[in-house]
C-alpha cells in the first residue's frame, strides 16, 4: 500500500494541473480502485462539481441529497455498497478538507472483493494530502477554481471571493464558518480572519455601493487592515489605518461599515470595535440575544476618526452569529424584518449543525422568509462556536 508520505511526495512533484491525474494513478495502481472522481464544492455550497474536462464538466451532485454530499456535510467518510453478487461494487466518499475548510469530496470506486474497511484510514490520508496540495496548486492553475463555479462569476464577485481567507476553519479553541449570497454576483460584503498562538482576529464588513466600486472599496479596506495587523498594530491602530486609507482614497464619498474583533484564546475576552452595520447575535444555553454595542463611525466617513474598543467575554459553548444588514433587515412579503422573529427561529433550528454548515442553512431560511421578493443586497453570515481552552481560568458570565 501507499504510505501517506509517499503520496505526499508524488503530489508535490506533480504539476498543479496534474494533481487529479496523479491521485487517480495512485488509487488505481496501489489500492486497486476502479474509478476515481473529485467533486469540488461550488461557491454557493449547494453543489459538488466534478473535475473533468473543464469547462464542460459532468452533471453536478447536490450537497444535500447525494452520497458524496453526505460525506461533505458530515466531514466523515461515507461508504456505499451497490450491486448484486458477482457484480457488487463499493464507493468510498472522502471529505477533502484543510483545517476545517471544506473543499471537495474524493469518490473512489472498488470492486467488492477488492475493498476492505481496513483501507479507510489510508484512503482518508490520501484525501487529506490532496486537500493541502489543492490549496497550493490554486496559486498556479485555474483548474480547481473553475470547477467550483456552477455559472460565471461577475468580476466583482471574483474579486470578493479571492479576498476571503476561506469559508470555514477549525482550531481547538473555536470553529468558524462563513458564506456570502448571492454567491455569483456579490457586492461589498466580506469577512476575514487570522489566528496566532494566542489570538483570533475576525472582521466582517458591509461595503458601500455595488459592483466593481464596492469590490474595490472592500479590497482597499481589507488590505489596509491586513497591513496594519501584520505590522503588529492593535485593534484601534488597525481601524485607524484602514479609516485613513479609505478616506484618503475617497475623501468621504464612500465608506465601509465593519465589525472588528480580537479574541484572546486563553481567556475568551474579546476587544470589539463596532464601526457600522454588521451586528452580532449570541446563542448561549439555548437563549438567543442580540449583543448591543456602542456604534462608531464607518471607516472612511470622516478624516482622523478616533476609535475605541469595547470588551465582552465569550464562554465555552457560546455560538456567535455575525450578520450583515442584508440578512437581519430583510422583510417578509408582509413587511416583517427577519430579525424580529424568523432569525431567532433560524438560529435555534441550526443549533445542532457545525459552524461550517450553519451559514448556508441560515441563508436558506432567509430565502424562505423573503419569499418571491428579489434580494436587493448582499447577505453575509459568519458563525463562530467558542470552545475555549481547558486550562483557561474559570470564566465569569
pLDDT (mean) for 366-392: 85
Whether the pLDDT of residue 42 is over 50: the answer is: yes
Q: How many residues does the chain have?
A: 397
3-state secondary structure 141-203: CCHHHHHCCCCCCCHHHHHHHHHCCCCEEEECCEEEEEEEECCCCCCCEEEEEEECCCEEEEE
pTM metric for this prediction: 0.91
Phi, psi of 389 (to 5 degrees): -110, 140
Rounded distance between C-alpha atoms, residue 108 and residue 127, angstroms: 10
Confidence of residue 88 (pLDDT cuts 50, 70, 90): confident
Taking residues 268-278, report their average pLDDT: 95
State the DSSP code for 331: B
Q: Find residue 260's DSSP bridge partners.
A: 203, 273
Q: How far apart are CA 315 and CA 267, in angstroms?
A: 9
- State residue 120 phi and psi, 5-degree precision: -55, -45
Beta bridge partners of 383: 177, 321
Mean pLDDT over the full length of the chain: 91
* 3-state secondary structure labels for all residues of 186-218: CCCEEEEEEECCCEEEEEEEEECCCHHHHHHHH
For the chain, count helices (H), then strands (E). Answer: 11, 17
Distances (CA, A) of 208 to 12, 187, 196, 291: 42, 9, 30, 24
Which residues make beta-bridge pairs with 181? 379
- Quote the CA–CA distance of 221 and 226 in Å, as a whole number: 9
User: Bridge-partner residues for 275, per DSSP?
Assistant: 258
DSSP 8-state assignment for residue 46: S
Q: Are 178 and 383 in contact (CB under 8 A)?
A: yes
The answer to whether 58 and 129 are in contact (CB under 8 A) is: no
Strand partners, 49: 40
- Residue 392 confidence (pLDDT) above 90: no
Which is nearest to 245 in space by CA: 231, 264, 265?
231
The three cell numbers locating residue 295: 456604534
Write down the pLDDT at residue 82. Answer: 81
How does DSSP assign 277-313, residue by residue? Answer: S-EEEEEETTEEEEE-----PPBTSSTT-----EEEE
pLDDT band at 12 (very low <50, low <70, confident <90, very high): very high
Q: Mean of the pLDDT values across residues 229-256?
A: 96
| Start-to-end CA span in the chain (Å) | 52
pLDDT in tens, 183-233: 888 888 999 999 999 999 999 998 888 889 999 999 999 999 999 999 999
Query: Dihedral of the CA atoms 147, 151, 155, 159 (nearest 10)?
Result: -40
Report the pLDDT value the prediction gives residue 397, as an integer from 0 to 100: 47
Q: pLDDT tier at 374 (50, 70, 90 boundaries)?
A: low
**DSSP reduced 3-state for 322:** strand
Q: Cα separation of 224 and 237, whole Å?
A: 11
- pLDDT tens for each residue of 296-340: 999 999 998 999 999 999 999 999 999 999 899 998 888 899 998
Say which residue the cell 428579489 belongs to: 374
- Give the pLDDT confidence score for residue 187 in this predicted structure: 80
**Looking at residue 28, what is its pLDDT?**
94
Of 107, 112, 36, 101, give the one whose Cα is nearest residue 78. Answer: 107
Edge-to-edge order in the sheet of strand 189-195: 189-195, 199-207, 256-264, 269-275, 310-313
Segment 145-193, tens digit of pLDDT: 999 988 899 999 999 999 999 999 999 999 999 999 988 888 889 999 9
Indicate the SS3 state at residue 69.
helix
Residue position matching grid coordinates 458601500: 208
Amino acid at each position: 500500500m501507499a504510505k501517506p508520505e509517499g503520496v505526499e511526495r508524488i503530489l508535490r512533484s506533480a504539476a498543479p494541473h496534474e494533481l487529479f491525474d496523479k491521485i487517480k494513478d495512485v488509487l488505481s495502481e496501489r489500492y486497486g480502485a476502479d474509478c476515481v472522481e473529485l467533486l469540488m464544492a461550488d461557491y454557493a455550497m449547494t453543489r459538488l462539481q466534478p473535475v473533468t474536462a473543464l469547462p464542460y464538466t459532468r452533471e453536478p451532485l447536490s450537497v444535500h441529497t447525494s452520497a458524496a454530499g453526505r460525506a461533505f456535510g458530515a466531514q466523515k467518510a461515507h461508504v456505499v455498497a451497490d450491486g448484486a453478487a458477482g457484480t457488487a461494487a463499493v464507493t468510498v466518499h472522502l471529505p477533502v478538507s484543510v483545517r476545517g475548510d471544506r473543499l471537495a469530496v474524493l469518490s473512489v470506486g472498488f470492486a467488492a472483493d477488492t475493498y476492505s474497511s481496513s483501507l479507510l484510514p489510508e484512503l482518508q490520508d490520501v484525501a487529506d494530502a490532496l486537500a493541502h496540495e489543492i490549496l497550493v496548486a490554486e496559486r498556479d492553475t485555474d483548474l480547481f477554481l473553475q470547477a467550483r463555479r456552477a455559472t460565471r462569476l461577475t468580476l466583482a464577485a471574483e474579486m470578493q471571493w479571492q479576498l476571503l481567507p476561506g469559508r470555514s476553519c477549525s482550531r481547538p479553541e473555536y470553529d468558524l464558518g462563513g458564506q456570502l449570497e448571492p454567491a455569483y454576483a456579490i457586492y461589498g460584503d466580506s469577512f476575514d480572519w487570522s489566528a496566532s498562538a494566542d489570538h483570533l482576529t475576525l472582521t466582517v464588513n458591509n461595503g458601500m455601493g455595488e459592483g466593481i466600486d464596492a469590490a474595490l472599496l472592500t479590497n482597499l479596506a481589507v488590505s489596509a487592515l491586513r497591513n496594519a495587523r501584520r505590522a503588529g498594530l492593535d485593534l484601534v491602530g488597525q481601524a485607524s489605518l484602514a479609516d485613513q486609507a479609505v478616506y484618503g482614497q475617497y475623501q468621504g464619498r464612500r465608506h465601509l461599515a465593519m465589525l472588528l474583533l480580537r479574541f484572546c484564546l486563553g481567556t475568551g475576552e474579546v476587544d470589539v470595535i463596532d464601526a457600522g452595520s454588521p451586528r452580532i447575535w449570541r446563542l448561549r444555553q439555548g437563549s438567543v440575544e442580540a449583543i448591543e454595542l456602542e456604534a462608531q463611525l464607518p471607516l472612511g466617513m470622516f478624516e482622523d476618526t478616533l476609535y475605541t474598543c469595547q470588551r465582552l467575554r465569550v464562554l465555552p459553548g457560546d455560538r456567535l452569529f455575525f450578520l450583515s444588514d442584508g440578512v437581519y433587515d430583510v422583510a417578509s412579503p408582509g413587511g416583517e424584518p427577519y430579525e424580529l422573529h424568523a432569525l431567532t427561529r433560524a438560529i435555534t433550528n441550526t443549533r445542532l449543525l457545525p459552524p461550517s454548515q450553519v451559514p448556508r442553512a441560515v441563508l436558506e431560511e432567509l430565502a424562505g422568509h423573503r419569499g418571491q421578493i428579489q434580494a436587493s443586497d448582499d447577505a453575509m453570515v459568519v458563525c463562530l462556536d467558542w470552545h475555549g481552552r481547558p486550562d483557561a481560568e474559570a470564566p465569569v458570565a
